[in-house]
Structures are given as C-alpha cells and as structure tokens.
Structure 1
Amino acid sequence: MLAAERQSHILLRSQALGVVRTRVLAKELGVVEETIRRDLDKLAELGALVRVHGGAAVNDFGHRDLAYEEREVSQQKEKVAIARCAAQAIKVGETILFDASSTCLQMAKLIPPNLRVRVVTYSLPIFEIFKDRKQVDLVLLGGDYESRGRRFGGPLTEEGLLSCRIDRFFFSAKGFDTTKGASEANEEQARLKTVGLIRSSWGALLVDGTKLGSDSSYHFAQTHELSAVFTDELGGEYFERAPLRESRKVTIAD
C-alpha cells in the first residue's frame, strides 16, 4: 500500500473516531508501527492531525466538547476496563459523585444492584441507571440542561453540589499532563469538577491513554489534588515516562 493510501485511511479513521492509535492502525494496515508513526508525523506536519500520546487526533479534538453519542463510542473497550477497575474502590454506605463522562457511565453500569450507596450526579444517563434501584439513595443535580451532552450545568448545579458532602468523586478529563494537571473543553463542566473536588474527601481521575500528555482549554485539577488515577495499558506507558510523584496513585486496568 502506498503512503498516500495509508494516510488517506488514517485521516478517515481519525475523522470517524476523533483519536487513532498507532498500534491499532498498524494492525489494520498490515505494517509496522514505525511506518504508521512516520505517516502520523507527516500528517501532523501538514496540519491535518495533532500528535498525541500513542497516536494522533483531529486538529480540534483536545479543545472540542464532544456530543454524548461521540463520547459513548470513543475508546469504549478501554473505558469499560478502566471503569471495572475503578468500581472496586467503592465501599458500602459511601456517597459517590459521578461526573457526566462516558467512562463514569460505564462504571455506573458495573455497580452491583444490591450495593447500598448514595449516588450524586449531574448526568442524565447515569441517573437513569440508578433511578429504580431501592438500595441507592439517588441525587440528581439539576440546573441548565445541555441536550448535546445529556447533562446539567451552570450556577444551580454548582450550588447544589456545594451543599453535598462527597466521599468519593469519579471523573474524567479531556486532557491530562503530569505538569499541567487535568483539563476540560467545556468551561461549565470544568467548574463543576473543581467544585466536586472541593466537596470530596477523595477524587479519582478515569482517563484512557489517548488523553494523556494533552492539554485542553479549562484546567480544573493539579496533579497533587488527585487521590488516584485509573488508566489503561497505553496510559501506563505514559506514566512510565512521566511518573507522578506518588506512584501508588496510578492503577493500570488490564
């Protein structure tokens, strides 16, 4: 296959997925990873893609707030593995705050039906998972509803969150860098996560490797504010090269 044909395939995949991985592209195209890296570097030079850890993304991916449907299908296998790993941290009787991320949605699906917890969220899909569970004390934080993200935000949501006492806060991010911290593409959602961390005794970042080493528009947490990080195999490679000071914070989902 000619370089132009490979690069055309890479562009089509990146436009469909937002982020593409070097390893996956190499398998799809039947070439070694080094060939894909050269293709990605060339496309980045042309301004068609932006290089991220383990692959590349469409130019505005790090700063574009994806719709709910886009987030739900992106890196789904990795998100399920991360969610399964993070769910083990929840203890009976705790008050849990879930953000409106697709990774937390996967995590909510994994909570055992008979587990007695209090769930606080501003995500409509997560609310729908728990609404009929008798063992769950459920709080939906209302406010300005954003249909594109199927979530609430704004001053009323922040005010409601400020009145809550949270044991564990699980959240994702658009980008994370060990120096700059966690960031979001949506200002309202970034503010909510800042408030969530203030009101929580323990906060965990759930992030797949494609978001590591990248930076988005609105920062909401520094590295020292994180109690734990749950990531995938690709994320594990990133943290080997850019470790947190407290290595115990990072858990790699398999």
Structure 2
Amino acid sequence: MFVEQRLEQLLQALSSAGSLTVEQAVELADVSADTVRRDFNRLAERGLAVRTHGGIMSRDGYVHDSPIRERKVQRAAEKAAIARAAAALVVDNETIALDGGTTTFGVIEHLRADLTLTVITYSLDAAIEVARRPNMSAIVLGGLVREPTLSVVGPDAMAMVGNFHANTLLLGANGVSLELGLMTPNRMEAQLKTALIGISDRVVLLADSSKIHKRALVTFGSLQAVTTLVTDAGADPSFLEQLRQSGIEVIIAQQE
C-alpha cells in the first residue's frame, strides 16, 4: 500500500473514532509501528491531525470524506442558493464539466430548460439527471465507482478526460485555503478534478462558507486556476477581498 493510500485509510478511521493509537493503526494498515509513527507525523505536519503521546487525534478544521447522502442535507439552503447562482452563468450551446460534488449536482435543476448543453461528468447522479433533460447530453467518464460519492474514478476515467474540452467547469472543493489551494479527501477524485481544470476555459468554484479555511488530505489545484467563486454571505470578507485583488470574480449567492 502506498503512503497516500495509508494516510487516507488512517484519516477515515480517525473520522469515526476521533483518535488512533499506534497499536490500532498497526493492526489497521498491517505495517510496522515505525511506519505508523512516520505516517502520524506526516498527518500532523500537514495539519490534518494532532499528534498525541502514542497516537493522533482529530483536528478541528479538517474535512473527512463522507457519503453523498449525508452531504446533500448539510447546509442545504446555502448550497441551493449557490447552485442557482452558478446555473445563471451557463450559456446556450456550451460544453460544461461537473465534478462529483453535491453543490455542483444541484446546479442541474436550476439550468434553464431551453439550454442546449453537453455535460461531461464523473458523477453517476449528475449523468442520470442530465440524461433526463431533452436538450442536454451527458458524457460520463468510465472507471471504478466510489460508493461514498457515487463518482467514477481511476485510470480509465483519467484517460478519457484528455479527449474532451469544456467551456466551463463547475467545481466543488471540501476545503479552500489561500496557502494550500483547493482540497478534497480522496486522491483519485483529486486527480480527476485537476484534469478537468486542465481541459476547461473557465473554472467556476462552488464553495459555501463552511469550506473556506478548511483542509483536506489532497490539494488538487491552486486558487489561481479559479475564474469565479460562488459562495454565500457567511464567507470570510477578508478572504473574499484577497481573491478579488488577485483577479478572481466573487459572487455572493442570495437565498430566496
């Protein structure tokens, strides 16, 4: 098992238990105690856990991977407002790309019915929803399906991305930081997000205020890659001002 795979496994266990001892991690990862201690130090150095005597504990401000059914009901009002504002940015005859986030999924229901669109996505939920709309066609990337997010990931999906070009990418992130950029808990989804940024002319980041100043395991892009941020009124004003000064458009979504 590679280092990043072990770290992801340890963080998943940490999210459930709140703390891990060296002995527990040795049994979980089937590696030596010295390897576990090095992994614990890596997590602490990245700000993803707090080192304790003989183990680690959860750190506030770190985002773990969670099932999509749970994330759909979290901050639902803010996400709906952001999705509605982002949908207004999409124009007719575009090719758009959607990642596997719950907020980006919400954009679909707010798209104008008369729009003719091609949608590239690695989200099974998004592909099915787009396919129901008569003027829209869905291209779903193929590969391994991740149960927590119902996203299609892996080398086959990565190989497909390079065949396409998108006018606009609607992108979510589990954590957004001035220092570390855009973050997600899963490295395979991180690879796809990075690839989608690379094929897109415009990157619209959909992130509610709870994601700002949060950290996750993997950085998949810098804020410099973002054209527009759509967020809610609770976002840190100083953070938003720094984005504006760097040339990023900021849209504050209003709840109905």
User: What TM-score do the two structures reach when normalised by structure 2?
Assistant: 0.73
- Matched residue SS, 1:86: helix
The alignment partner of 2:80 has SS state of helix
AA aligned to 2:153 is G
* Alpha-carbon distance, 1:239 to partner: 2.6
The alignment's C-alpha RMSD in Å is: 2.2
- The DSSP-based 3-state class of the residue aligned with 2:96 is strand
Match of 2:116 in 1: 116
- Amino acid across the alignment from 1:222: S
| 1:148-167 CA distance string (max 9 Å, x none) | 21111011111111111111
Q: Name 1:187's counterpart in structure 2.
A: 187
Amino acid at match of 2:154: G
Percent sequence identity over matched residues? 26
For residues 8-87 of structure 1, the aligned pairs below 5 Å read 59=59, 62-87=62-87
Which one is further off, 62-71 or 242-251?
Answer: 242-251
Q: What is aligned with 2:176? A: 176
Residue 219 of structure 2 corresponds to: 219
Q: What is the Cα deviation at residue 187 of structure 1? A: 0.4
The CA deviation at 1:178 is 2.0
Match of 1:207 in 2: 207
Q: Describe the shift of the 1:233–1:191 C-alpha distance in structure 2 as closer, same or farther (beyond 3 A).
A: same
Residue in 2 aligned with 1:146? 146
The change in CA–CA distance for 1:191 and 1:76 in structure 2 (over 3 A counts) is same
Q: Matched residues in 2 for 1:130 and 1:240: separation?
A: 32
Match of 2:235 in 1: 235
Task: Provide the rounded CA distance (Å) in 2 between the counterparts of 1:239 and 1:190.
Answer: 23
Q: What is the CA distance between 1:138 and its match in structure 2?
A: 1.5
Letter in 2 for 1:148: P
- Which region of structure 1 is more displaced relative to structure 2, 115-124 or 233-242? 233-242
CA distance in 2, matches of 1:238, 1:75: 22
Partner Cα distance (1:62, 1:223) in 2: 19
1:131 to partner: Cα distance: 1.3
User: Letter of the aligned partner of 1:114 in structure 2?
Assistant: D
**Structure 1 residue ranges without an equivalent (≥5):** 1-14, 16-49, 51-57
Letter in 2 for 1:144: L
Deviations 1:192-240 (A, max 9, x none): 0100000111111100111101221111111111111110011153535
Rate the CA distance shift 1:197–1:152 in 2: closer, same or farther, 3 A: same
> For 1:59 and 1:113, how far apart are their aligned partners in 2?
44
- C-alpha contact (below 8 Å) 1:119/1:136 kept by paired residues: yes
Gap regions ≥5 residues in structure 2 = 1-14, 16-49, 51-57
Cα distance in 2 between the residues matched to 1:160 and 1:88:
28
The corresponding residue for 2:5 is: none
Q: Give SS of 1:73's match.
A: coil
SS at match of 1:106: helix
Q: CA deviation at 1:247?
A: 5.2
Whole-Å Cα distance in 1 between the matches of residues 250 and 242 of structure 2? 12
Residue identity opposite 2:66 in structure 1: L
